[in-house]
Chain A
């Protein structure tokens, strides 16, 4: 690992001041499960590392009338045990299956949202896009994107919680230099990079993700269904998170369908949402939603199989949210 200067500030202001001096050469450290391995491999070589875990205001879960506010450095095992998250099964279902005991105790919510892609070309030093996508296109792309992959970016968004949080309409609070503070929908944290100078995250390096705020989902049905190969801590092949609002007679008033591990960003499927709205949830409707979600898919040479898996993930997430039998494991 290349050496760096290290600071563990106690307040947000101190952290922002440390970030502001040389933002491009500064990395934010939280749980360290992603940053430390990246630094060990010299894929990231910051001159300064700012550890934000000692900042009290970034910790903990607070329930209020609009929902909950979760500090960015809250660890996943704390989230799993939090009674405040009971109305959000979509989030809890992900965390319960996310990684090992060690990862859950170490990984933070903010870090999970901001972790870098697992694409093996990126992790082995060929850059995020891998020669403008050529390496992925001609190489081993079995775990790469099936949607939004026509540009140079063909990796999949690594965050497991982002699809669930987007389905729940969550926003994040972002603090920036000079007391500047904004709230950004989780959806807008991500983008598909078009060239080597763009990152997959829209946050500027001087900004700090401080809190995550899932909206109160009174009566909103929500669920996540992840399709994994085996039971280990490895990432799933495809996931889907669904949030449904039903009216009194069981007809879907509004729906949000977000797929994970299928595109360079958490992929919101408006097509599937359109299929669901105005209908009653049932097996056939769920099947149609799944088919609509993967209709625009453009699989690469080795990941044709992911289309079927993503389709099934959407179908089962819809059924799970509605409390119906999914037919799967």
Chain B
């Protein structure tokens, strides 16, 4: 771009754009924290807020916006990268975590919705967990991207159905997808846990 052409009044287009941009930014900053006092009582959360999340038995202080999903907090603020961002609508099960012991998709859960609830990720299960061990024995992974979601889903499924048959395991895990196609070994791993009787 050539030098800005100065007009008579020492006014340039570039300077003007810079100036108006700054003005707009200033308006946005002033606009954000404006809270009508009447609405304060209803507990509306507008911008970033510091909250405590209970993840894997530990309390974590995090600063989140209302739109932040649980998956984003886990991965990008707490460094728990087990749960994977695969599908926006959670249809693949890659972001499965346990919320109060129930398997949910972290990709479709707002982080603010989890305040005060116990969150368990695959990291929280630990390497000695019987489901994790069964996955190792049965070599139930290829690229491994879907594995954390599968491990959490198997854990939750077997807790509810400790004596599941192969057919039930296949149907119960239909919310987790694997592009490599390791389903055979995942089912074997789940059945190993059933046979070992150590689940629950």
A49-B175 Cα distance, complex, nearest whole Å: 27
Q: Find residues 4-44 in chain B having any chain A CB closer than 8 Å to their own CB.
A: 39, 42-44
Say which size band chain B's interface belongs to.
Answer: 35 or more
A200-250 interface with B by 8 A CB criterion: 231-233
> Which A-chain residue is minimally distant from B68 (CB atoms)?
A1
Contact B88 A8 (CB under 8 A): no
Enumerate chain A residues within 8 angstroms of B112, measured Cβ to Cβ: 6, 8, 51
B125 part of interface (Cβ distance < 8 Å): no
B82 an interface residue at 8 Å Cβ cutoff? no
Closest CB-CB distance, B89 to chain A, in whole Å?
A: 4
A297: interface (CB < 8 Å): no
Q: Is the interface of A mostly helix, strand, loop or mixed?
A: mixed
Q: Which of A9, A18, A51, A106 contacts B105 (CB 8 A)?
A: A106
Interface bits B162-182 vs A (CB < 8 Å: 1, else 0)? 000000001111111000000
| A: contact size bracket | 35 or more
Choice from B65, B108, B109, B174 contacting A100 with Cβ under 8 Å: B174
Structural contact, B67 and A4, CB atoms closer than 8 A: yes
Q: How many A-B residue pairs have CB under 8 A?
A: 105
Chain A residues with CB below 8 A from B47, complex form: 3
The residues of A that contact B44 with a CB separation of less than 8 Å are 5-7, 18, 48
User: CA of A39 to CA of B157 in the docked complex: distance in angstroms?
Assistant: 29
User: A9, A53, A101: which contacts B173 (Cβ < 8 A)?
Assistant: A101
A32-B67 Cα distance, complex, nearest whole Å: 12
- Would A102 and B175 be within 8 Å (CB), given that A3-B65, A36-B69 are in contact? yes
Binary contact readout B47-67 vs A (1 if CB under 8 angstroms, 0 otherwise):
100000000000000000111
Chain B window 66-110, contacts with chain A (Cβ cutoff 8 Å), 1 for yes, 0 for no: 110100000000000000000011110100100000111101111
Contact A5-B42, Cβ < 8 Å, known A51-B113, A101-B172, A105-B104: no
* Pairwise interchain contact B174-A233, C-beta atoms closer than 8 A: yes
CB of A53 within 8 A of CB of B176, answer no
Chain A positions near chain B (C-beta within 8 angstroms) = 1-9, 14, 17-18, 21, 29, 32-33, 36-37, 39-41, 48-49, 51, 53, 77, 99-103, 105-106, 231-233
5 nearest CB pairs, A to B:
A100-B175, A6-B66, A37-B89, A105-B102, A36-B108
Instruction: List the interface of chain B (C-beta within 8 A of A).
Output: 39, 42-47, 65-67, 69, 88-91, 93, 96, 102-105, 107-110, 112-113, 153, 156-157, 170-176
